[in-house]
Amino acid sequence: MLKIFCILTLFVGELCSLELVVIGDKNFPEHNITHSEIKAIFLAKKRFINEEKLLVMNHKANHPLRHCFEKHILEKQERSLERYWRKAYYKGKHPPKIVSSMEMLFLYLQSVHPTIGYSDFNATINQEVTILYRVECAL
């Protein structure tokens, strides 16, 4: 009985999680990017890679991937980020561009270089992107 419970728990855990991947365009200049560099990029503290200005893409505020990203990568809550961007605005910094769909994200990744964003791993399988970082998220 205990074995069945453990197997079911593992199965349900797999169904209730997703693998978030930070992705760049297929020719993204850096492949060994750290968690702290990703955080700096998405908080507009690092805006260039190899002297090229980055296009940074974010999902809408209510998107489940964004909640996972803010919790595990940015390590900030929504209200904290709102305060951060209000202060950053006066220093000439702007938040990442918002995409309304995964298709829009992949279109930017194909046409603008260098571009960075994030996605569910399964959505990247048939896309020409560079996977820069991975994190597991519970839903």
Q: What is the pLDDT of residues 59-104, one digit of tens each?
A: 999 999 999 999 999 999 999 999 999 999 999 999 999 999 999 9
The alpha-carbon radius of gyration of the chain (Å, integer) is 16
Model confidence, pTM: 0.86
Tokens of 22: 């930070």
Identify the pLDDT of residue 30.
87
pLDDT at 16: 63
SS3 content of the chain, % helix, strand, coil (to 5): 40, 25, 30
Residue 76: per-residue pLDDT: 94
pLDDT for the residue 14: 44
The CA-atom distances, in angstroms, between 4 and each of 11, 64, 106 are: 10, 30, 41
Domains of the chain: 18-138 (3.40.190.10)
